[in-house]
Chains A and B, each alone.
Chain A
Amino acid sequence: METILEIKNLKTHFFTKAGLIKAVDDISFKIKKGEIVGLVGESGSGKSITGFSIIGLIDAPGRIVSGSINFKNEPLLNASSNRMQSLRGNRLAMIFQDPMMTLNPVLRIDTQMIETIKAHDKNISNQEAFRRCRDTLGLVGISSPEERMKAYPHQFSGGMRQRVCIAIAMLNKPDLIIADEPTTALDVTIQGQVIYEMQELCKKTGTALLWITHDLAVVAGIASKICVMYAGRIVEQGSVDDIINKPMHPYTIGLIKSVPSQNKRGEPLHQIEGMVPSMLELPIGCAFHDRCTETIEKCKIEKPIETNQSDSRVIRCFNFKDIRK
């Protein structure tokens, strides 16, 4: 299957007054056409920065330092800003955690949606654009879209606004959507709806999806591949079945074990000791070693490199237990 996105050894660093922050430090992964990939990590892991790097929204004091991002075999890193602008919203779209980061509160929904279409297709007629907007809104589950389109963002509830953002992302039938915590701020029942709709949409339109989240459970149901990030690096990636049911990296194992449903009711939960280190003061060696149960001497001095276990499984650890043996 065609590879839509290929990231190789990406490094995005922030040169702040307080020091150098290696927000993304050498990550590599691929997304195929129509695939849903989950990028999972806690705060400070660099997952959101990865999304911003792909779509080209990294501002000073941050900068992509090295590596490559290939979108349908076209390198994005040195692309001109005109080229990036023609790709964004068109072939490559992004959905943010807060719908109000996408929606302009003083413009009506139809104005904003038609603007998105016309930015990439100057010849389209107003009626045609309107029709496409209406159809896309219907696609994301908004009833009576023709009337609702005339409303302003504040007249929608949170879940509706997020659906509108998804619709805007889908307007030009992009090849890849990057979704940065799209359901984190939504209620449980609305979250369920939105996850379901995104799943259906991707099936129907063949759009690939990079779902960035801190919640493994959310991507467990819909992703086919998961990348787990910690302190700027991908520590483990593989098929969703491998990662959730047969994790091998101590951090992934710790994360999964500490979910309440994996523990006996009322008993203390399995916990990962310690805290996520400050990105300004990362330990020497593996960033996870001071919280890890499997640390050996090597972990304290050297940073682990990625080792390929099979076609899709990659793990970054010196001392993982290979449970397949």
Chain B
Amino acid sequence: MLNTDSNSKNINVFMYKFWSDFSESKVAVISLLILIAIVLIAIFAPLISPSDPYDLSKVSIMDSRLPPMAKNFAGDIFILGTDGAGRDMLSAIFYGLRVSLGVGVMSAIFALIIGTIFGISAAFFGGKYETFIMRIVDIQLSFPSILMALIILAAFGKGIEKTIIALVLVQWAYYARTARAAALVERSKEYVEAAQCLALGNKKIMFNHILPNCMPSLIVVGTLQTAHAISLEATLSFLGLGLPITEPSLGLLIGNGFQYMHTGDFWISIFPGVALLITIVSINLVGDQLRDMYNPRLKK
């Protein structure tokens, strides 16, 4: 079937096809829009927050624990209320989104890189090397991820870098397994044999030929794992491990606000929780649609 598209239209053809498949699910489209909004909020948090909740000069204990839509003496309105120290909840949530998303995405990207390298090389070289890597992957995947993260953080202490490292160590195995499965499928295809016949060298074959064709599965796993990473980090922060108080993520906000639940100041804990929920659910819904799109058996 000869298409009459020219070079510049090729990209458009791919994008058009991607969008027409993706938009078959209205739920996924709405989730994607929400997700885009969340990402924009996270990026532009300093610009769009009503106030900077971590500027100690602006925060006053006099404003603490005001309910949603309350005004303080100066007439500033706090749409989602304030927390125990007087910080505006809405701004805290915006900044918190930044941290949560940032940590989640960064750890996912590093885990993706490490996991993909091991997974693809395991599939390509096979033999004892593959067995060795995959046994480590299996052992790691049989541990509950929270337990593993807790142990690592308990050993190394708090901090944003240490949290990211812990999340990467917990997650790389998922990527390795997915990458290996996808690479095994590609490895048996004849274009890989052709590349070997042309003596292109192992590195080139793995990364220029096999890897690009594994991207669809990796993107799906990456999306869903990012949601998992965000929720993992939130759990760790809620428990008091993970991120320090100077860089509060949504988890930390929920954790800090928990003590106020008994006195009825629910908004300090619940609103960050809702924000976290919306983030994770929308990422998962987008990831689900991506997975259905790339599942060949569902195609008619």
Contact = CB atoms under 8 A, between A and B. Distances in A.
Interface of A: 17, 61, 278, 280-281
6 contacts: A17-B20, A61-B300, A278-B1, A278-B2, A280-B1, A281-B1
Contacts of A17: 20
Contacts of A281: 1
Interface string B255-289: 00000000000000000000000000000000000
A63 to B, nearest CB: 14
In this complex, the member of B2, B20, B300 whose beta carbon has the largest number of chain A beta carbons within 10 angstroms is B300
Question: Would you list the 5 A-B pairs with minimal beta carbon distance, nearest first?
Answer: A278-B1, A17-B20, A61-B300, A280-B1, A278-B2
Interface string B1-38: 11000000000000000001000000000000000000
A280 B1 CA distance: 9
Contacts of B20: 17
Contacts of B2: 278
A61 B1 CA distance: 21
Chain A interface, >50% SS class = loop
A61 B300 CA distance: 9
In this complex, the member of A61, A280, A281 whose beta carbon has the largest number of chain B beta carbons within 10 angstroms is A281
A17 B24 CA distance: 12
Nearest to A275: B2
B58 to A, nearest CB: 55
Contacts, number: 6
B266 to A, nearest CB: 48
Contacts of A278: 1-2
B300 to A, nearest CB: 7
Nearest to A280: B1
B54 to A, nearest CB: 51
A276 B20 CA distance: 28
Contacts of B300: 61
Contacts of A61: 300
Nearest to B20: A17
A125 to B, nearest CB: 40
Nearest to A60: B300
B59 to A, nearest CB: 55
In this complex, the member of B1, B2, B20 whose beta carbon has the largest number of chain A beta carbons within 10 angstroms is B1
Contacts of A280: 1
A278 B4 CA distance: 13
A17 B299 CA distance: 12
Contacts of B1: 278, 280-281
A17 B300 CA distance: 11
Nearest to A277: B1
A280 B300 CA distance: 17
A281 B4 CA distance: 12
A17 B20 CA distance: 10
Nearest to A279: B1
A278 B1 CA distance: 6
Nearest to A61: B300
Interface in B127-180: none
A278 B2 CA distance: 8
Nearest to A17: B20
Nearest to A16: B300
A16 to B, nearest CB: 8
A163 B43 CA distance: 65
B5 to A, nearest CB: 13
Nearest to A278: B1
Nearest to A281: B1
A268 B2 CA distance: 26
Interface string B99-119: 000000000000000000000
A61 B2 CA distance: 23
A279 to B, nearest CB: 9
A281 B1 CA distance: 9
B3 to A, nearest CB: 9
A13 B300 CA distance: 15
B19 to A, nearest CB: 13
Nearest to A62: B300
B182 to A, nearest CB: 25
A112 B20 CA distance: 42
B16 to A, nearest CB: 12
B22 to A, nearest CB: 13
A186 B17 CA distance: 37
